[in-house]
Structures are given as structure tokens and as C-alpha cells.
Structure 1
Amino acid sequence: LDTPGHQDFSEDTYRTLMAADSAVMVIDGAKGVEAQTRKLFKVCARRHIPIFTFINKMDREARDSFELVDEIEHELGIPCCPVNWPIGSGKGFKGVYDRKSEKVLIFHDTQKGTKEGEIEEISLNDDSLRSYVTEDEEELLREELELLDGASAEFDQEEVSCGRLSPVFFGSALTNFGVETFLQHFLRMTNSPLPRMSDAGLIDPMENDFSAFVFKIQANMNKNHRDRVAFMRIVSGHFDANMEVYHVQGRKKARLSQPQQMMADDRHVVSEAWAGDIIGVFDPGIYSIGDTVCMPGQNFRFGGIPTFAPEHFARVRQMDTMKRKQFTKGIEEIAQEGAIQVFQEFHTGMEEIIVGVVGVLQLDVLRFRLESEYKVDIRMESLPYEVIRWIENPLEVDVENLEGTTDMKKVKDMRGNPLLLFEHEWSVGMTLDRNKGLKLTEFGGWESED
């Protein structure tokens, strides 16, 4: 499962991580640990899944390798065990040394990832190594390896499996160097599909019947057919395309039609799949992110997928009132994908809405998709709100007559749940003080995995 690295799309990455049993953390050799890496690492740590680190772009000028490993350990709080170690960086990048096999893998520049390229393995004590590495480079490598042996954490498979130790690899994805080696180690070190908690207890991937949950929805993947695909992670059992399943949230039996798997732009129909697989199925508009499907006669739910609270808000209006139907459909479908959150002021309709997003770039994506996929032009006005709180006990308080601050705005989400928008964090506390018994929460409409 490949996810965006840009911080404005971190929520999409977050949801995808909920479907994964292990994660590969790709670190830029020049930049080190970035803000979105810290945010998403917490998700992995919370689920205790194995985390593999690949320090990328070693064919460009990179920071000191010890400095990078030290930063990962201190910034993210996880011990690291380098499985291989780089020889130089940028134009001086010669390859990596595999600490287990005690061999040097020589770097040859390939055609920018279009092929695997040749990899030469040479023993550190082999005289032919001097054809590729200078005496000074070899001496520096030996010094660094000696330091590594004394300072880095020792490899422990059990610690890796519990997410308490991260194996570290160096390479260059663009030139395809070190990727194959990494994948071979990854397959040896990673888990088979893990059990997952439901409200009926732990669901074992091997012993239980078929079950799955929806972690992503994407509309208009094929513009010619206006298709909508629900991506499911199979948690347990065996899936057969002809089988009947039970959609728990929809409370009815269904068939998962047009099951398919994808690799980049290629997609192919599958007739069967097993625990750990990801399948995309045709969605006629009945599935939502977090939904559970299982066998008829069973009824349980996997933990919901939490969401980040929006940090940017904008008022969105349709330009052409004759296209209200297309505008409403586009907004609702994009919201169901989890890309945006939609709010309405009380006593208003869908002709004017407030959109909340985690990253401001998602607003540009919203405008582009409405124009290109739904043929709707919009006017967008940025709003000053930065803090959002759902009203946890709307039946116990008078929502219409809440006494708030001057920067507070009352709105409701697509499910009718009331919430408050604020320009300043301190306004939340002041509003709570002025309305005794009022309870506010950062999340609404989503069950936490905890």
C-alpha cells in the first residue's frame, strides 16, 4: 500500500496504516525525520506493528549516517539496528556493507529505476574491492563498523515484531539500488497476517471465517464508467467472488461484486483472496470507511478508524444554481472518501457549506475534482477557524442558546451532529465555563480503536 508523503495528505496515510500489519518508513537522507513522519509514526507505535526504516536518496548528498540513525532514535523514540551501512553518499556513494553476510554490495547507476541493475557482492577482505573503493574509504568503513558494533542496538526478531526495534537499510529508490536487498530482508523479518480486535473479541486470520473492513473509498477511478471502489482489508478466512457476505453496518446480505486488485495503473479481477490481501469492490454507495463485512449468521464490528480533526476551513458555494444536484453529489462522494469533512450552518441547505480539511492542499484538490469530475465551478472563501469540537451531549444542553465567545460558530456535520468552530484554542475553555454541563470532544462520528 503506497501512500502520499506530503503532510497535507497525512490523514489518507493514517487510514491506510490501519489496514497494514507492518510499515516501511522512508527517510530522505538529506532531510531526516520530517513533521509528518512524527505524526504517522505515532499511529504505528500505537498499533505495535513492525516498522522498517529505509534511508533513501543516498546517491545524492546526504547527512552523516550516524546522525540520521541517532535522530530517528531520539525523535521517534525507537531503537534502531542498521542491517547494512552506506559507503559514502552523493557522487561518492559506492554501495552498502551487509553486516550479516559481511559483504559489500557495489553500487552501479541504473537507468533511473527502469531496471534492477547489476549488484556485485565482494567480501570486505577481498583484494578486488580496491577496484571500487579507495584505501581511505575502506579504512573509514572499518572504523564506522567498529563503532556500530559497540553503539547500535543488536538485532532481535521478537523486538522487531512488536514494533520496539526498527531495522535500518540504506539505498536509492530512484536508481533501484538497495531495494531488492531490502525487500528480501523485509520478507524474512515481517509477520504473517495479524489477528484484529472486534467487539466480539480477537479475530484470528487463520481460524475464523471470512471477514474484512473498509479502509478507503475512491470515486471516479475510471472516469468513463464513473465507478466507485471500496477498498477492503481481508482480516480472516478465504474470500470467494461467488460467496454471499453480511454487511454489518448496512444490516443486510450482499455480494462483493467486481472484486479486483491493483498495482499502480494496472487492475485485474480476482476470483479469490485470503487473509492479509487487499481487494477493491464495486460500491453502489452503501459502504463507508470503517464498515465491517463478515459471513451471514455472524455479527461483529472491527474497531472504527479514527480521523484527524480538520485544521483548515473554507466556505464553499456553487457558482451555477442549476448544477445543485452535481454539486451535492460531488461534495457527498468526496466527503465519503474521507478527503474532506463537510459542515452546514443551522437552518441552511447544501447550496452553501463549510469544508474542513487536515491540509490546505486538499482544498485545491477539492476544487479540481469538482470541476473535472462533476463539471461544477465553485467559489471558495477561506475562514479563520482553527479549532473544532463536537458537542458530546447535545440532548442535555440547549444547543440553540449556547453562550459562546465572539469567535465561535455553531454548525452541524453531515450526520446532523452539532459542533462548534473556534478561531482560538482558549475560546474552548471559556465556552465550557459559560455553559455548565456542556461536554466537547475532538472527534465525532468515529469510534476510536482504543
Structure 2
Amino acid sequence: MADFIKEVERRRTFAIISHPDAGKTTLTEKFLLYGGAIQEAGMVKGKQSSRHAVSDWMEIEKQRGISVTSSVLQFNYNGYCINILDTPGHQDFSEDTYRTLMAADSAVMVIDGSKGVEDQTRKLFKVCVMRHIPIFTFINKMDRDAKDPYELMEEIEQELGIKTCAINWPIGSGKEFQGVYEREKKEVIRFSFGKKGAKEMAETVKVDLQDDTLADLIGAEHCEKLREDVELLDGASEEFDLEAVRSGLLSPVCFGSALTNFGVEPFLEHFLAMTTSPLPRMAGDQLIDPFDPHFSAFVFKIQANMNKAHRDRMAFMRICSGKFEKGMEVYHVQGKKKVKLNQSKQLMASDRETVEEAYAGDVIGIFDPGIYSIGDTLCTASNKFEFDGIPTFAPEHFASIRNKDSMKRKQFVKGVEQIAKEGAIQIFQSPLSGMEEIIVGVVGVLQFEVLEHRLKSEYNVDIERTNLSYRFIRWIGNKDIDLNRLNLSSDTKKIQDLKGNFLLLFTNEWGIRWAEKNNPELILEEFGK
């Protein structure tokens, strides 16, 4: 039992969020570099190398240089076992990011020092606030011309509504970037340009701010400014409060440059010192303690065809309590039956290795024969309960798709259904047409492109897509209503989801009001069951 408690205590599970191009994937790789999980970092869009980022494994990601699906990465560092959930930065994939944040205990927010808080950062931050999870900020790209650090801190506070506390402070930026000052240790960590892919040690110099040698180290002008900045920070800035950090009320801020490895390891060490072991989870009125020896987990992501050689489906699950052992029998709550977890994997993006055991806080992939859905609960049969569900986003863009080659209908239907089960798209059909006419709903339009690419590359199916003008979707709450007797506007469309539920598509809000006014018995709901 003591070993079990020790293993759970050393787990840390966090998600990395950012606006596209802020450096999230690069920071992820540098964490792996310091943890010894990889020997050299690959660049997503680097011209100097043909390698691609470890966490960007899907073919379309390599072509476009963006992350479109969450990756799960694990490594060990200084006695900690760390699970990183790397998320898509592009807003069109915010639903995948939302689900991933449900599996994390904290979040690292990466901000571009030259751009500050951007649109997608705001959206993802709101999700973190909803979950009350701790947020740690890494202001990146200080080796390029950046905004004033006070301005960046103020922007975070005003735009995101969270207090900030500088853990270290930058000395210059761009060509004048000299390094950072560690406030608690009273040390200057000097910056020097180095190789972009290799692990390097920065020069750390313990020096008193009033020491004359400081001017020789960073230059007289930078020395004077640093003294003024530190005096101002000590007197006027928010004081560090660990409880406020862990409650999601105060975000510790560090500065650095992920591309050159500068400031990454100090940030990682600060982060590990402030975060906690896995947090409890709610299952209705029940609080599930991670140190409870009874195994429990929930599925937060499903991914098909991660490796063409395997042609399989993986269900990613966050272990919430107890210990996982390969081959163990658990109860699948939604399926109402016992299942054996024989094929279990730990992943480094698309690379996989069999995992024999795992603990609360860990994320592992299990083979999915087509029985799991996002939000499903797995637990021991002697202690049955159901974790709170993961909300689904209502689609905002719609298109009808048609298979170009009628001889490939089987592959077409299978591909669309499997990709839909991953949660990236939602598919619907006209009540009488079956799968002949498929309507796809997505949160972001780039998902259409990903769908076309994956159907082609994974199922050898070409599709024809017609964008539709619908903007709103509503589920019909009363199952016994006669659809043919509904009084609807001419541009309202009746559809059905894969579970047999009936829905209505509207081009504008006026159509919704018309339907409600002219059909008093009609119950419209924004979320499906």
C-alpha cells in the first residue's frame, strides 16, 4: 500500500494550451528533452530538418505544421512521473482541447512575448476557469523583440481575469536579451544562443543586485533597469500565494525561449514544486479519491488509425483512482458489462509500447473494439459509479458529403462513423435517406479539411462536399412528437443523429423562434443526450 501511495504522489498530469504558433509544441518537446524521453527535438516547420515534432504525428499535421489532435506524452524527471497532454492550438479544434482539459489537473499556458494574449488563449483560458484548475504561464520567444514584461503581465490580468506573479524576470529582449533573474534564489541565469535541438545548460550566476560585478555580467544599462524592476516588483506586484495558485486564482509567470531551450528547465522545476499529485474527481454526489485502491478511469478521447500498420482504434483514458494492471477485468458502466483490458499502451505520440501497470493520474491508451464512447466510465465491479459526463459542443458549421465512388460505400460509411466516434465531427442523416445523404456538423471549418484528408488517406475514399447555410442546431426533446405535423419555416431541415434522436437545423435565430411559437408542444434542446 505504501508503494501505491508513493506512485500516485509522484504523478503530475497537465495540458499545454496556447494560440497557434506561440511555441507550445516546441516547449513540449523541450520538456521531453530534459526528461530524457527524446534525444533531439524535431521542428514542425524547420527548414533545416526534415523531422517533425514528436507530438505532431498525423500526416496532415506534418504537412501544415499545426497540431490538430491531442497527443499524450509521458516522461520521468527528478523522481516525478509526468503526463503531458499536448493540445491543438487552432481554434477549429477547441472541442478536442476542451475534452483534453477534462483529463488534466493543471494547465501550462504558453504566450508569445511579442503578441501577448491572443484570441484562442482567451477561449481556452475560459475552459480552465470553468474547471478551476491551476494555470502556469510561460512567456515565450524572449530572444525576439517582445512587449514590455509589465505590459504582458497586465494584459494577462485584464484579458483573462486572473492575477499574476512573476517568478523570474526578463533582462532585455530580442538581440538585447541577457537572461532572467530568479527572484526567490536571487540568481541571474544568463542567456546564450545555442543549437536549437540539443539539450544545453544555461549559465547560472548567483549575484547580489547591488554587486558591482552585475554590470559586467549583463551591461550597465540592463543592470540599472533590473534593479529598478525588482524593487518595483517586490513593492507593488502580487505576492506569491501557493494556495491561490492551486485554486486557479493566481498564475505564476516565467519568461524564456523554448526554441533555444532557455528558461525551460527552471520553469519545469517551478511548475513541479507548485503542482499537486492527482486531484479527486466527481461522480454525481460522490468524490472519488485518487488514493482509493479501487480502480476507476474515464475515456476522454478516441483516435482511429494512429498507425496505418495497426489499423486500430485507441481509447485514451485518464486513471482517476487505484492501480491499472494489464489484463485486469473492469466494469464498463455505459456498456453494462465486464471487459478485460488486455491491450494497453503508453504512447509517445504515435509510437507505442505495452504498459503493464499504471496509477491514478496516468493516461493510457486501450484497444477499442468499437464499444467505447467519450465520457465512458470504467471501474471495478465491486464499486460501481459513473463519472460526470463531458459536455459536447453544438456544431456551428454544416456540410453534406457524398461518396464519389459508389463501389466504396462500405469504406465510406465505416470511415465517417469511426471518425465521428472520435468526437471531432458529428454526423446526421435525413430521416428517410439513411446513410445516402450524410450531413456533417463541426465546431471549426478546418475539421472539414481534416475529414476529407483522413477519408482519403485512411479509407481510400474521395468525397464531394457541399457547404450548407445552416448555423444553428437543436435536438427535439419530446420523442413522441409527429415530425410531419410540425409547422416550420421553409429553410428549416429535419435530421436524425446516429442514436436515432431527431433534430432541427436552422439558418438563423428567427427560424428557432418561429418553430417555438408555432409549435407550443415542441421542446428544443441545445445539447444532445
What range is the shorter-chain TM-score in? over 0.9
- Cα pair distance change 1:25/1:285, threshold 3 Å: same
* Structure 1 spans left out of the alignment, 5+ residues: 446-450
- Partner in structure 1 of residue 107 of structure 2: 23
- Partner in structure 2 of residue 297 of structure 1: 382
- Partner in structure 1 of residue 327 of structure 2: 242
1:162 to 2:247 alignment: yes
CA distance in 1, matches of 2:203, 2:509: 55
CA distance in 1, matches of 2:116, 2:513: 37
- Cα pair distance change 1:116/1:399, threshold 3 Å: farther
* Structure 2 spans left out of the alignment, 5+ residues: 1-84
Q: Could you say what secondary structure the match of 1:404 adopts? A: coil
Q: Matches of residues 227-266 of structure 1 in structure 2 within 5 Å?
A: 227-266=312-351
Aligned residues: 444
Compute the displacement of 1:281 (Å): 0.8
Tell me if the contact between 2:307 and 2:350 (Cα under 8 Å) persists in the aligned partners: no
- Partner in structure 2 of residue 56 of structure 1: 140
Compute the displacement of 1:401 (Å): 2.5
CA distance in 1, matches of 2:231, 2:303: 50
1:109 to 2:193 alignment: yes
1:145 to 2:230 alignment: yes
Residues 88-147 of structure 1 show CA distances to partners (whole Å, capped at 9, x for unaligned) of 111111111111111111112221142234332342344443344121111112222222
- Partner in structure 1 of residue 509 of structure 2: 425
Which residue, 34, 37, 52 being the options, matches 2:121?
A: 37
- Partner in structure 2 of residue 195 of structure 1: 280
CA distance in 1, matches of 2:351, 2:308: 15
Q: Could you say what secondary structure the match of 1:229 adopts? A: strand
- Partner in structure 1 of residue 291 of structure 2: 206
TM-score by length of 2: 0.81
- Partner in structure 2 of residue 415 of structure 1: 499
Which residue, 404, 417, 423 being the options, matches 1:338?
A: 423
Tell me if the contact between 1:318 and 1:352 (Cα under 8 Å) persists in the aligned partners: no
Q: Could you say what secondary structure the match of 1:350 adopts? A: helix
Which residue, 146, 154, 164 being the options, matches 1:70?
A: 154
Which residue, 327, 346, 352 being the options, matches 2:437?
A: 352
Tell me if the contact between 1:407 and 1:424 (Cα under 8 Å) persists in the aligned partners: no
Moved more, 426-435 or 161-170: 426-435
CA distance in 1, matches of 2:387, 2:322: 15
- Cα pair distance change 1:117/1:401, threshold 3 Å: farther
Q: Could you say what secondary structure the match of 2:170 adopts? A: strand
Give the letter for the 1:153 counterpart. Answer: E
Residues 249-277 of structure 1 show CA distances to partners (whole Å, capped at 9, x for unaligned) of 11111111221112234422111111000
Which residue, 407, 411, 416 being the options, matches 1:322?
A: 407
Q: Could you say what secondary structure the match of 1:388 adopts? A: strand
Compute the displacement of 1:378 (Å): 0.3
1:129 to 2:214 alignment: yes
Give the letter for the 1:194 counterpart. Answer: L
- Cα pair distance change 1:181/1:433, threshold 3 Å: same
Q: Could you say what secondary structure the match of 2:434 adopts? A: coil
CA distance in 1, matches of 2:124, 2:522: 32
- Partner in structure 2 of residue 361 of structure 1: 446
- Cα pair distance change 1:93/1:264, threshold 3 Å: farther
Q: Could you say what secondary structure the match of 2:373 adopts? A: coil
- Cα pair distance change 1:82/1:407, threshold 3 Å: farther
Runs of 4+ in 1 over 4 A off after TM superposition: none
CA distance in 2, matches of 1:252, 1:119: 58
CA distance in 1, matches of 2:224, 2:522: 67
- Cα pair distance change 1:254/1:61, threshold 3 Å: same
CA distance in 2, matches of 1:351, 1:269: 40
- Partner in structure 2 of residue 276 of structure 1: 361
Compute the displacement of 1:227 (Å): 1.5
CA distance in 2, matches of 1:308, 1:323: 31
Give the letter for the 1:16 counterpart. Answer: T
Compute the displacement of 1:149 (Å): 2.4
CA distance in 2, matches of 1:441, 1:107: 55
CA distance in 2, matches of 1:113, 1:154: 36
Q: Could you say what secondary structure the match of 1:262 adopts? A: strand
- Partner in structure 1 of residue 483 of structure 2: 399
RMSD: 1.5
CA distance in 2, matches of 1:403, 1:148: 64
CA distance in 1, matches of 2:458, 2:432: 29
CA distance in 1, matches of 2:484, 2:260: 60
Which residue, 176, 190, 202 being the options, matches 1:118?
A: 202
Compute the displacement of 1:210 (Å): 0.4
Moved more, 412-421 or 184-193: 412-421
Q: Could you say what secondary structure the match of 1:137 adopts? A: helix
Compute the displacement of 1:195 (Å): 0.6
Compute the displacement of 1:300 (Å): 1.0
Give the letter for the 2:439 counterpart. Answer: I
CA distance in 2, matches of 1:142, 1:299: 59
Give the letter for the 1:337 counterpart. Answer: E
Tell me if the contact between 2:187 and 2:204 (Cα under 8 Å) persists in the aligned partners: no
CA distance in 2, matches of 1:409, 1:394: 17
CA distance in 2, matches of 1:119, 1:11: 41
Compute the displacement of 1:390 (Å): 1.4
- Cα pair distance change 1:271/1:387, threshold 3 Å: same
Moved more, 66-75 or 322-331: 66-75
Residue identity over aligned pairs, in percent, reads: 65
CA distance in 2, matches of 1:405, 1:151: 60
Tell me if the contact between 2:278 and 2:361 (Cα under 8 Å) persists in the aligned partners: yes
1:387 to 2:457 alignment: no
- Partner in structure 1 of residue 177 of structure 2: 93
CA distance in 2, matches of 1:137, 1:364: 49
Q: Could you say what secondary structure the match of 1:364 adopts? A: helix
Compute the displacement of 1:429 (Å): 2.3
CA distance in 2, matches of 1:14, 1:441: 21
Compute the displacement of 1:175 (Å): 1.0
